[in-house]
Amino acid sequence: MHLIRRREPHLAVRSSGGLTTVELYGELDLVLVQRVRPELDALVREAGALTVDLRHLTFCDASGLGLLVRCAQRVRQRGARWRLVCEQPMILRLIRLAALDETLCPEPGSPAPATIPGPAAPRSGHPGRLPV
């Protein structure tokens, strides 16, 4: 498995034998979506199988869900395999409330840890944001 260097610090990518794993870090809100969308779009076009790992996210909003749905649909349209790894109860609840369980198919998982660290996650939640 080799690391694909990307300029975005909130994104770590590993690839091996057609399987690409993307780990997202921080808060998947409108600002981060706009920053990582070009990278994810490129990976969606290239990967034979794409795993998106959300275990390092501290927050996700509707724009983040929209990006994930876009990725999942495009990966499947190409006939590639899609996998979403998510264990955070608040993000899983958001996926359920948006009725996206069947589209995103979140599951717990244990892909290998990234070889480059993401930014440090804050100890407390984002100020001013209410839990979902």
pLDDT at 76: 96
In 3-state terms, what secondary structure has residue 132? coil
Domain range for 70: 2-107
Classify residue 48: in a domain, yes or no: yes
pLDDT at 127: 36
Classify residue 72: in a domain, yes or no: yes
For 10, other C-beta atoms within 10 Å of its C-beta total 20
8 backbone dihedrals φ, ψ, rounded to 5°: -80, 120
Classify residue 127: in a domain, yes or no: no
Please say whether the beta carbons of 95 and 107 come within 8 A: no
Domain CATH code at residue 16: 3.30.750.24
**Count of domains in the chain?**
1
Q: What is the pLDDT of residues 60-112, one digit of tens each?
A: 999 999 999 999 999 999 999 999 999 999 999 999 999 999 999 999 976 44
Is pLDDT at 43 greater than 50 in this prediction? yes
pLDDT at 16: 87
Classify residue 42: in a domain, yes or no: yes
In 3-state terms, what secondary structure has residue 61? coil
Classify residue 119: in a domain, yes or no: no
Classify residue 35: in a domain, yes or no: yes
Classify residue 30: in a domain, yes or no: yes
| DSSP codes, 68-128 | HHHHHHHHHHTT-EEEEE---HHHHHHHHHTT-HHHH-EE---PPPPSS--PPPPSSPPTT
Classify residue 122: in a domain, yes or no: no
